[in-house]
């Protein structure tokens, strides 16, 4: 980084701050401006793009031949597309957790994490919508949802609520970006001509006046309040896609809360992972500190316990009764074909991360990152377990069908598309961080000034 040649224009609202702060804020801006990809970054982007391309090719094959290229059949009519969809919806909930809930409860330390959380939410919700289109037998009839939509169907509720959540998330991403645009525009030399044009287009109207700040702050507050119920809706409705059926394993009144708690857990885990990655990639140690891992680690522990609690509800109570309809499903999970995966998700997805994060040493960046990865991977397979084994336990026995109807393991096309969508989401996040500051510059400066003031007051 060539710091000497950096010409820093005075940022208007910083005029009044003492020179010491000004130097500090300059440093912050320097650190947080979007950076070009390094070699590692290039490889990362290339690999993700390649996986996306394979996924796109697999989808081309699916469009050509039909869903027959998948290994879904009449009994397992929903496979990893749907579990992947649920995973995306789940992880997108983190936007409301970190941004809205923390902001409303005046949690200051979460400031550097808000944008990370929000971009995870936006890209996850984008790919949730895409993957659900991939799952459709007739994607070209998507418009029928609007032309002939039946409000009685939970699918329509999902469509409405996902659309709404996407819109809110984008607004919640955009409003806090406005002050940063001003900074970005000033640093033309650093960001490059093309990006500058984009910034101007998106935020040149932001002058940083008091009125503008007033409106913006108020809008963000309203957004934070609105996003919480909508976020709850989005995942509750997604759980209802399953809970509105009669099938053992899905027919549960616990499902909404079960899904939401799981969503918060995977979201928090995802943020820990993203924090670690960004911190390493962009050398953000000063901004995403050990304290953040410490706090997020505690958060993950709390949420993991919450999810564990709902899991016990979800499995122990039916297992206590062992109704005939449920019995086969549950024994399959506990001790049957799906037992290894089931216990894997319980231990890797919940218990092990809790054990790691309960220790102070475990909440250091690296172990916390590992725990976060465990949570996310466990959560992905957990969604698979929610969808597939239930479909293999229909209420009437599976007979008069070919042998491959009675089992399910995703085909390469399904894996490629699912992995392609995950890569796509990661790519979206990566590209976003390339273009926009992944840690809010303006807010960080503000926080810095406030703490400085406090320190000076104490002095």
Residue 148 DSSP code: S
SS3 231: helix
Q: Which residues contact 46 (CB under 8 A, 6 or more apart)?
A: none
Nearer to another protein, 73 or 292 (CB): 73
Nearest to 364 by CA among 256, 255, 285, 307: 285
Measure the CA–CA gap between 52 and 46, rounded to whole angstroms.
Answer: 10
Measure the CA–CA gap between 9 and 25, rounded to whole angstroms.
Answer: 12
The answer to whether 216 contacts another protein (rule: CB under 8 A) is yes
Residue 137 C-beta: closest distance to another protein, Å: 2
The answer to whether 15 contacts another protein (rule: CB under 8 A) is no
The answer to whether 352 contacts another protein (rule: CB under 8 A) is no
Nearer to another protein, 185 or 354 (CB): 185
Q: Convert residues 60-89 into a mask of x (bound to another protein by CB under 8 A) and - (unbound).
A: -----xxxx-x-xxxx-xx-----------
Residue 324 C-beta: closest distance to another protein, Å: 9
Measure the CA–CA gap between 287 and 265, rounded to whole angstroms.
Answer: 23
The answer to whether 321 contacts another protein (rule: CB under 8 A) is no
The answer to whether 159 contacts another protein (rule: CB under 8 A) is yes
Site for another protein in 108-147 (CB under 8 A): 135-139, 141-142, 144-145, 147
Q: Which residue in 206, 258, 276, 338 binds another protein (CB under 8 A)?
A: 206
Residue 160 C-beta: closest distance to another protein, Å: 6
Measure the CA–CA gap between 445 and 53, rounded to whole angstroms.
Answer: 40
Measured CA distances, 246 to 60, 80, 86, 250, 389 (Å): 34, 21, 19, 7, 14
The answer to whether 400 contacts another protein (rule: CB under 8 A) is yes
Site for another protein in 220-239 (CB under 8 A): 222-223, 226, 229-230
The answer to whether 394 contacts another protein (rule: CB under 8 A) is yes
The answer to whether 167 contacts another protein (rule: CB under 8 A) is yes
The answer to whether 322 contacts another protein (rule: CB under 8 A) is no
Structure tokens, 218: 């108020």
The answer to whether 100 contacts another protein (rule: CB under 8 A) is no
Q: Are 3 and 31 in contact (CB under 8 A)?
A: no
Q: Which residue in 13, 202, 219, 289 binds another protein (CB under 8 A)?
A: 219
Residue 205 C-beta: closest distance to another protein, Å: 4
Interface with another protein: number of residues (CB under 8 A) = 73
Structure tokens, 335: 């001790």
Q: Which residue in 320, 397, 457, 459 binds another protein (CB under 8 A)?
A: 397
The answer to whether 202 contacts another protein (rule: CB under 8 A) is no
Measure the CA–CA gap between 212 and 407, rounded to whole angstroms.
Answer: 59
Residue 11 C-beta: closest distance to another protein, Å: 16
Residue 217 C-beta: closest distance to another protein, Å: 11
Site for another protein in 244-263 (CB under 8 A): 244-247
Q: Are 407 and 6 in contact (CB under 8 A)?
A: no
Nearest to 119 by CA among 182, 169, 84, 80: 169
Nearer to another protein, 47 or 398 (CB): 398
Q: Are 85 and 135 in contact (CB under 8 A)?
A: yes
Residue 47 C-beta: closest distance to another protein, Å: 32
Residue 198 C-beta: closest distance to another protein, Å: 17
* Helices and strands, number each (H, E), in the chain: 20, 0
State the DSSP string of 289-315.
-HHHHHHHHHHHHHHHHHHHHHHHHHH
């Amino acid at each position: 980084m060539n710091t000497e040649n950096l010409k820093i224009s005075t940022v208007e609202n910083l005029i009044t701050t003492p020179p010491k702060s000004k130097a500090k804020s300059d440093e912050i801006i320097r650190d947080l401006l979007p950076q070009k990809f390094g070699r590692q970054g290039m490889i990362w982007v290339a690999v993700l793009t390649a996986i996306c391309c394979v996924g796109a090719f697999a989808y081309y094959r699916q469009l050509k031949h039909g869903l027959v290229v998948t290994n879904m059949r009449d009994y397992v009519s929903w496979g990893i597309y749907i579990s992947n969809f649920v995973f995306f919806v789940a992880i997108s909930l983190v936007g409301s957790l970190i941004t809205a809930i923390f902001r409303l409860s005046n949690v200051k330390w979460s400031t550097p994490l808000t944008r990370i959380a929000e971009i995870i939410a936006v890209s996850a919700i984008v790919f949730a919508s895409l993957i659900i289109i991939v799952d459709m037998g007739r994607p070209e009839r998507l418009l029928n949802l609007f032309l002939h939509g039946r409000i009685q169907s939970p699918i329509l509720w999902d469509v409405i609520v996902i659309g709404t959540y996407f819109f809110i998330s984008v607004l919640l991403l955009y409003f806090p970006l406005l002050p940063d645009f001003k900074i970005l525009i000033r640093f033309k030399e650093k960001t490059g001509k093309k990006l500058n044009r984009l910034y101007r287009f998106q935020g040149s109207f932001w002058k940083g006046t008091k009125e503008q700040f007033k409106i913006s702050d108020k809008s963000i507050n309203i957004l934070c309040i609105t996003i919480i119920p909508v976020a709850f809706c989005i995942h509750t409705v997604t759980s209802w896609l399953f809970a509105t059926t009669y099938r053992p394993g899905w027919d549960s009144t616990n499902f909404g809360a079960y899904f939401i708690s799981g969503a918060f857990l995977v979201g928090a885990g995802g943020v820990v992972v993203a924090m670690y990655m960004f911190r390493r990639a962009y050398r953000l140690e000063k901004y995403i500190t050990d304290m953040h891992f410490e706090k997020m680690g505690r958060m993950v522990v709390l949420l993991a316990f919450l999810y564990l609690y709902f899991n016990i509800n979800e499995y122990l109570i039916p297992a206590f009764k062992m109704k005939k309809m449920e019995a086969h499903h549950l024994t399959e999970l506990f001790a049957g074909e799906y037992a290894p995966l089931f216990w894997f998700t319980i231990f890797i997805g919940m218990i092990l991360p809790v054990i790691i994060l309960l220790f102070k040493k475990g909440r250091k960046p690296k172990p916390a990152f590992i725990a976060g990865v465990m949570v996310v991977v466990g959560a992905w397979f957990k969604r698979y377990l929610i969808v597939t084994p239930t479909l293999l336990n229909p209420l009437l026995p599976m007979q008069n069908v070919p042998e491959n109807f009675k089992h399910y393991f995703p085909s390469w096309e399904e894996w490629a598309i699912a992995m392609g969508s995950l890569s796509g989401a990661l790519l979206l996040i990566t590209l976003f961080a390339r273009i926009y500051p992944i840690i809010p510059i303006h807010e960080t400066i503000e926080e810095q000034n406030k703490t400085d003031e406090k320190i000076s007051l104490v002095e």
